[in-house]
Structure 1
Amino acid sequence: MNRFNPRKLALSKWTACKPLNREKHFLVTDLLHDEQGTLLKVELQAVYSNRSEWLDWHELRDSERWKAGWQ
């Protein structure tokens, strides 16, 4: 389980453990909050292709799928 502070996710770097389409390194480019300011989702942008996707921020805690930083 990856441990991190959700308030510090902006512009953080992540590595996918099982890359798809040669997309391994990602950068958090945007955060989606609800009306109360609770974090809901993060936008991950692939460094290689610049493709973006929205992801529930809790999925980044899965250490079998994601590693913090670029490795």
Structure 2
Amino acid sequence: MNPIRPNKLFHSKWTAVSPVNKEKHFLVIKLCQPPEPDAPMTLVELQAVHSGRIQQIAWRELQDKSHWHQGWL
């Protein structure tokens, strides 16, 4: 697992290991804050560079090397 910190994810770059619809490179565009102020952040918004499509995922999914690589490869 990649040792990443959620507060350092904003504007980070990611490469999908198995691209779908030619969407390989992604940028974290938003850190989704939970409704409760004391709750930890769990979601981030990723934007595909190729299509501009936005998706929300749990930031911990980015730690899975079988799905994501940090940076653009």
- TM score, norm. by length of structure 1: 0.94
Residue 3 of structure 1 aligns with an amino acid whose one-letter code is P
Residue 44 of structure 2 is aligned to residue 42 of structure 1: yes
1:11 is aligned to: 11
Equivalent residues in 2 for 1:1-71 (5 A)? 1-34=1-34, 35-36=37-38, 38-71=40-73
**What are the superposed Cα offsets for residues 10-69 of structure 1, whole Å, 9 maximum, x if unpaired?**
000000000000000000000112221521100000000000000011100101000000
CA distance in 1, matches of 2:57, 2:68: 12
Give SS of 1:7's match: helix
Q: Structure 1 stretches (4+) deviating beyond 6 angstroms?
A: none
- Identify unmatched segments of 5+ residues in structure 1: none
Structure 1 residue 6 displacement after superposition: 1.2
Q: RMSD of the TM alignment (CA)?
A: 0.9
Q: Distance in 1 between matches of 2:3 and 2:21?
A: 27
The structure that is strand-richer by fraction is 1
Query: How many residues were matched structurally?
Result: 71
TM-score, structure 2 normalization: 0.92
